Amino acid sequence: MHLYASVFMVFGGLIVFSSKRKHLLLMLLSLEFVVISMYMSIFLYLSYMNYEYFFSMIFLSMSVCEGALGLSILVMMIRTYGNDYILTFSSLW
């Protein structure tokens, strides 16, 4: 039952990620929600199978690095362009 809830949370986060593609901050928050729900599903799977939790710690440290990188990109965009709208700056076009 908990595994279905975590899969539902992953798909909910992906739907929010695809629908809020104009704001970088909302995209980062939905990505963090997806990562936390994936961490929950990995933790539940490892606890059901009576495995060690070492892989979950590696996954958690990589997700922290991903979050720090996303926040640094957000700060750089706000300092350079003044807002977090993705479509306003022309480096992607």
Q: Look up the CATH number of the domain holding residue 31.
A: 1.10.287.3510
Strand ranges, E, within the chain: none
Domain count, the chain: 1
Q: Is residue 86 part of a domain?
A: no
Residue 88 binned pLDDT confidence (cut-offs 50, 70, 90): low
pLDDT tens readout for residues 17-76: 888 777 888 888 999 999 999 998 888 888 888 888 888 889 999 999 999 998 898 888
**Which pLDDT value is given to residue 12?**
92
**Which pLDDT value is given to residue 56?**
87
Structural domain including 64 reads: 2-81
Q: Is residue 62 part of a domain?
A: yes
Q: What one-character-per-residue DSSP string does 5-57 give?
A: HHHHHHHHHHHHHHH--SBHHHHHHHHHHHHHHHHHHHHHHHHHTT--SHHHH
